[in-house]
Structure 1
Amino acid sequence: MKTLVNIFIAFFRSGMLGYGGGPSSIPLVHKEVVETFKWMSDDEFSDVLAIGNTLPGPINTKMAGYIGYRVAGLTGMLTAIIASIVPTIILMIVLLTSLSKFKDESWVAGITKGVIPVVAVMLAVLAWQFFQKSKEGLGWGISILLLVASLLFIEFLNIHPGIVIALLLSYALLKPNAPTKDHGQKERSNVQ
């Protein structure tokens, strides 16, 4: 029961504080899932994020469903999805009815303008953490090459990010794996 309460809290907080939609909630989900409750590692979270981005629909809901299922099965999945969507639906109904009266007020526009830089910083910090993790696995050269190629494809050639992610996942699945240094050391220690 405590696990379900924690799942609800994690996805309720990330859903309620993720101002601006799915991408802005990703750093909050990361904080809850990886740092606060330690349900998965950074690498596992980045895998969930990558696969979730290739699928249609809101990223926060997809991640909530998968992570909830992984942590506590079907009830965990339902709890996480309910926690991530129901409170925001209720708030939308309440806010849209009340904010329509104040939409022309300067303080309403100020709230929106004030939150955007904070969301940008949260996304930048998460992107930097992922880039550092990729450096450990791929090295600086390939990481920078993939970063530049992804930027080129997405921003300048207008290729959908899901297609770029799907191509990278396909490459990762199909490429032959080179033995790592640790693997070779383990094999040598087993022989001795």
Structure 2
Amino acid sequence: MASQKDIFIAFFRSSILGFGGGPSTIPLVQKEVVQTFQFLDDDEFTEILAIGNTLPGPIITKMAGYIGFRVGGVIGMLNALAATIIPSAIMIIVALTALNEYKDLPFIQGMTRGVMPVIAVMMGVLTWDYVKKSTLALGWKWAIILFALAFTAIILLSMHPAIIIVALLLCALLLPVKKEAR
């Protein structure tokens, strides 16, 4: 069982540094729980992220709750949730008060525009990580086919991503999968 201090630090650090919300915080959480504290391995983290994305609500709180529970029980879950929510709540109150007061200053507008590329790079790194994992699990052919189908359904047909996720979950449940030793 992980120490409550480590659980708090992992999620607090991720939450305090994750500018832009849940999706931009995911790579930070991954670094903390997989690399720094080794609560999970990379495959476990990927599975938790995939399942978390199928459920409603903010991804980062779902992940914090589950990972906290898994490595620290009920107290670990509450600890991870508090470490995730408290910094965000405080920063939102402080930042929105300040931004509202100074929103027309060029510095504030530039800061807001300047952080966008950083978030884009973080999301790109996470995306590439999942492309590699998909190709390892499915091979390039199936990864490209699934990407093309999902892209077509979501972008061109304006289908809600949840429909795609549910369809893929049903396929995963119904289609036989060959088991490999880890």
Amino acid at match of 1:107: F
TM-score in terms of structure 1 length = 0.88
| CA contact 1:68–1:79 (8 Å) conserved in 2 | yes
Matches within 5 A, 1:166-177: 166-177=166-177
| CA contact 1:54–1:163 (8 Å) conserved in 2 | no
Aligned positions, number: 182
Report SS of the residue matched to 2:3. helix
Where in structure 1 do 4 or more consecutive aligned residues deviate above 3 Å? Answer: none
Which residue of the partner structure matches residue 13 of structure 1?
13
Matches within 5 A, 1:102-181: 102-178=102-178
Q: For 1:150 and 1:102, locate their aligned partners in 2 and report how far apart those are by CA, in whole Å.
A: 41
Larger radius of gyration: 1
TM-score in terms of structure 2 length = 0.92
Q: For 1:179 and 1:80, locate their aligned partners in 2 and report how far apart those are by CA, in whole Å.
A: 33
Which residue of the partner structure matches residue 73 of structure 2?
73
| CA contact 1:50–1:165 (8 Å) conserved in 2 | no
Structure 2: state its 5+ residue gaps.
none
Structure 1: state its 5+ residue gaps.
184-192
Q: For 1:135 and 1:115, locate their aligned partners in 2 and report how far apart those are by CA, in whole Å.
A: 31
Cα-to-partner distance string for 1:29-74 (whole Å, 9 max, x where unaligned): 1111112112112221111111111111111110100111111110
| CA contact 1:69–1:76 (8 Å) conserved in 2 | yes
| CA contact 1:65–1:78 (8 Å) conserved in 2 | yes
Cα-to-partner distance string for 1:117-175 (whole Å, 9 max, x where unaligned): 11111111111111111211111100111111111122222222222122212211211
Which residue of the partner structure matches residue 190 of structure 1?
none
Q: For 1:14 and 1:110, locate their aligned partners in 2 and report how far apart those are by CA, in whole Å.
A: 24
Q: For 1:8 and 1:171, locate their aligned partners in 2 and report how far apart those are by CA, in whole Å.
A: 37
Which residue of the partner structure matches residue 26 of structure 1?
26
Q: For 2:134 and 2:101, locate their aligned partners in 1 and report how far apart those are by CA, in whole Å.
A: 48
> Structure 1 vs Structure 2: percent identity of aligned residues?
54
CA RMSD of aligned residues (A): 1.8
Cα-to-partner distance string for 1:82-138 (whole Å, 9 max, x where unaligned): 000111111211222222221111111111111111111111111111111121111
